Structure 1
Amino acid sequence: MLDKNGFKRKRYSDLVEDMTLKVKELFGEDTNLSERSFLGILIRLFAWFLATIWEVAEKVYNSGYMHKAEGIQLDRKAWEFGITRLQEQHAQGMVEIRGSPGYVVEEGTLFETEKGVLFELIEDVALDDNGVGTGSIVCTDPGTKGNVAANTVKIVSNPNENITSVTNPEPITGGRERETDAEFLERYQQTLSGLGSSSTDSIRAELLKLNGVRAAVVIENTKSTPDEAGRPPKSISTYVLGGDPNKIAQVIFKKKAAGIEAYGTEQIEVLDMGGYPHTIGFSWVTEVPIAIQATIYKNDSFPADGVQQIKTQFIKYIGGEDADGTFYTGLNAGETVTVFKLIKQLDKIEGIDDVELLVGIKGQTLGTENIPMDITQVAQISHTDIEVQVV
């Protein structure tokens, strides 16, 4: 039913109860409505189909609200605010190829890792006089499986006498799964302020819409003199983690107020609608690597993959790369790594009686204190820097 308190769906048991009362009202209290009687079977049959209709009605009602909508309804509701779901992406990177001098490695050549992750060369690569060339590759399958570490793409799928070796000097990144409803809703809530313009919140919100941007913070100096950090007067300083530099500069130029300097260590030239160039500055956020040592006291309900679940929960909170190559956004720039909140993440895992936690910056002494971050820093952690001992 729908009233001032909203929509309340009638379930199968509610419908059976209502129909039972109505039948007894019409035919008498002594009417046989057992599960094997004719009327009892008929009531339950109709109640089953009506329960399905009530379920559809509830979904239609919920589709009008962002926090209740799901699937394509969530997509369409978010589209009204200019926000679209992030689709799955193919990981991309560079490879260094060695072989016969002057040989041209053709576009479409396949390389792979020892685990069988395939990558395709997307351009012709001519080997120089030393027999060395570099080219761009893309994973043949979308998703996080294509995010692989440096020096792991070493196999030429179809052996060629003119190619002696191949490797990727840098990690292959950019692969992601299709954004889930929960992730999409969280990003929508973060970007609501982006509907405005010329404010620090709107710039940050718009940056978070960009693929690959995992954290962003915008600081403004409204004074007529440089601030304590050396930022020029009447300027904004944008600090970003991840993303394409040119797209970041475009967003800052589009959202910042006229006459305000966009200050930063990275300088990108952006053209306005009239074709006139403008220099837009921003800075990359400094990543602070975090390390964790956890001692877990378990009971019989502790899951077989409990250690990996623990690592994943820590990474989701702080931000960083999981063992399967998934990148989690985690904390924003300037946010403190809180030991209490780390421990709270373990509430989502069964079978844990107690936990002892040591946290710190990687390479330094670990302890039980919170780890504060400067506004230009963001905490990040890798699954390789989490040590879990189960007792």
Structure 2
Amino acid sequence: MGEYGVTRNGFVRKRLDEIKNDVYARLKEGWGYDITINPQSFLNVLVTGFSDEVAKLWEEAENTYYAMYTMSAEGGNLDNAMQFGGITRERDSRTTYMIACTAPDDTIVPYGVLIKSATNPEKMFRCTNTQVIGRENFRRIEIRPYMESGIDVFYITLNRNTWQYARQPEDNAQDIIRAFADMIEEAGMSVNEDLEKGCLIIEDIYKQTSNTLAISNNLLIDSVTSNILFESMEYGPVIIADGLIREMVTLDTGIREIKNDIAPVPGRFEADDIEARQTFVKRCATRSKNMVESITAEIYNSVDNVLSVAGYENDTEDTDKEGRPPKSVEIIVDGGDDGEIANTIYQKKTNGIRAYGNIIMDVADGFGNIHKVGFSRPDYLYVWLRIVITGKAGKAMAPNYIELTQESILEDSKNLQVGDTVYLQTFLANIYSRVVSVSMVDIRAFASASEKYIPSEEEYTPGNVIVSHRQKALFDVARIEVLLDG
């Protein structure tokens, strides 16, 4: 390799002065005299002119070289470089909600049905694709006996388990409801009798699982509640408190009631170059031979709307201190679809290794066999910050110092992943750079598992916020209090 261009130390560009010196030396060697003696000479002006053009070519060559690598490329060049690893930049995405919709059995919810939140300003959401509210994907269902059917044998099949009851001459509807309520035992299901309404209520206690039901002709379905996927009309994270998405915009759909009670998958805005490089580092391990790295990278790559992934392996013969069974792997995922995550874990994990977690999904292999695949969702740790800023003597503080400080905190915290401890001192540098005339910053924090709990001033402490492997720290501008001292 030569001294310039692509070398062992990377690309070395030949500067304009070095180009001119080489040209001067070649001319002096050929003509026998130094043309630099007179800077205004014809030859000197000519050499300067074409040397400048050659220097521009070197600059373009250098830019081309650096455009091939993710750590130095920018914009479209960064996108091209990332594709060598089979990875693309995360684009704008909408926030998705699983909305509990109650309607008669087999109600079709067409694509584009609109609902809205009871907030100010209101937020609009639309149905992502044509879906059905019915017995084949219910989370809550109300059943009542049809006593005039003339059929004396009643049966209910719930998730492939069947219960049967033969009506006795003295039985009424309430007796049949009580009989099934006593008989049915299904993991994850709540079975209750509502004698006032004259119906049997079967409900999924986990809310997020779809269940299937088959019944005899002498049983009728009063109403069904199914989870229907809706997305926000705007891009980015659109977070609405539970129970506030409850108003229909598109009428005559047959839907009687809607409610949001499942945590959404937040949307995002298109990743900038810095974020793209950071995610590339996490996602490029998809071809790794290490199982945990391969699983986490593939989830980032193949599952939409994933915000954070962390993986832990217990390769011992004993249950570890965090409850993971022997020879198991636990993947903790924030965001993304449950089914897609479980399928990705099954495809990437090693055979014989158990996928452990607090969510269990059924995944079918190529032969139709069903496998139980688990993963975990993080427990959110809501972080409150109390920041006291002291200004420099005799210098005015920026009037928007509160907003600048809050923006600084949110910018530094957005890259925190599942299990990342919050180190308060890391927030200082960005505050000092954004807010002028600051002489001292005092940060104190409080963390709670409850979003609604409001700490007192005495509960804030100057120590770091310790986050467990199964937790994720969440920040919000409403929980960042900024005060000016003096």
Contact 1:315 1:330 survives alignment (8 Å): no
Of 170, 178, 187 in structure 1, the residue corresponding to residue 270 of structure 2 is 178
Contact 1:200/1:220, CA 8 A, preserved across alignment: yes
In the alignment, does 2:433 pair up with 1:341? Answer: no
Q: CA deviation at 1:238?
A: 2.4
Instruction: Verify the 8 A CA contact 1:331 1:378 in the aligned structure 2.
Output: yes
Q: Deviations over 1:296-350 (max 9, x none)?
A: 23466865654334223323444xxxxxxxxx341431x3222222323424424
Change (3 A) 1:387 1:62: same
Is the strand fraction higher in 1 or 2? 2
Q: Does 1:289 align with 2:406?
A: no
Quote the offset at 1:212 in angstroms. Answer: 2.9
* Alignment match, 1:29: 37
> Once the two structures are superposed, what CA deviation does each residue of 1:16-47 show, in whole Å capped at 9, x if it has no partner?
975996799764512427xxx9975x777656
Q: Secondary structure at the match of 1:91?
A: strand
| 2:314 maps to 1:310 | no
Q: Which residue does the alignment assign to 2:338?
A: 245
Alignment of 1:41-80 (within 5 A): 46=50, 49-80=53-84
1:63 Cα offset (Å): 2.4
Q: Which residue of 1 aligns with 2:13?
A: 9
CA contact (8 A) 1:92 1:175 kept: yes
Distance 1:16 1:230, change over 3 A: closer
The Cα offsets for residues 335-373 of structure 1, whole Å up to 9 and x where unpaired, read as: 322222232342442413320111121455111112222
Task: Supply the distance in 1 between the matched residues of 2:230 and 2:382 (Cα, whole angstroms).
Answer: 28
**CA drift at 1:4:** 4.0
Q: Which moved more, 1:49-58 or 1:261-270?
A: 49-58
Q: How far, CA to CA, are the matches of 1:38 and 1:148 in structure 2?
A: 69
* Partners of 1:211 and 1:162 in 2: CA distance: 29
Distance (whole Å) between structure 2 residues aligned to residue 386 and residue 105 of structure 1: 41
Q: What is the aligned partner in structure 2 of residue 201 from structure 1?
A: 293
TM-score, normalization: structure 1? 0.75
What is residue 183 of structure 2 aligned with on the other side? Answer: none
Tell me, yes or no, if the aligned pair for 1:215 and 1:242 is still in contact at 8 Å: yes
SS of 2:427's partner is: helix
Task: Tell me by how many angstroms 1:64 deviates.
Answer: 2.8
Instruction: State TM-score, norm by structure 2.
Output: 0.62
Residue in structure 2 matched with residue 384 of structure 1 by the alignment: 478
Gaps of 5+ in 2: 134-220
Amino acid at match of 2:77: Q
**CA distance in structure 2 between the aligned counterparts of 1:77 and 1:91, rounded to whole angstroms:** 28
Q: 1:129 to 1:377 in 2, by over 3 A?
A: closer
Letter in 2 for 1:367: T
Relative to structure 1, the CA distance from residue 62 to residue 28 in structure 2 (aligned partners, 3 Å threshold; closer, same or farther) is closer
Equivalences for residues 125-274 of structure 1 within 5 A: 136-141=229-234, 143-144=235-236, 147-150=238-241, 169=260, 173-197=265-289, 199-209=291-301, 210-274=303-367
2:93 corresponding residue in structure 1: 89
Whole-angstrom CA distance in 2 between matches of 1:156 and 1:248: 31
Partners of 1:156 and 1:52 in 2: CA distance: 61
Measured in 2, the distance between the counterparts of 1:353 and 1:185 equals 34
Q: Secondary structure at the match of 1:356?
A: strand
Does structure 1 conserve the Cα–Cα contact (< 8 Å) formed by 2:332 and 2:418? Answer: no
Q: CA RMSD in A?
A: 4.3
Q: Could you tell me how far 1:204 is from its partner in structure 2?
A: 2.8
**Following TM superposition, by how much is the alpha carbon of 1:253 offset from its aligned partner in structure 2, in angstroms?**
1.1
Instruction: Give the unaligned 5+ runs of structure 1.
Output: 319-327
Structure having the higher Rg: 2
Contact 1:86 1:211 in 2 (8 A): no
Distance across 1 between alignment mates of 2:226 and 2:375: 32
Aligned to 2:441: 355
For residue 14 of structure 1, report the CA deviation from its aligned partner.
Answer: 4.4
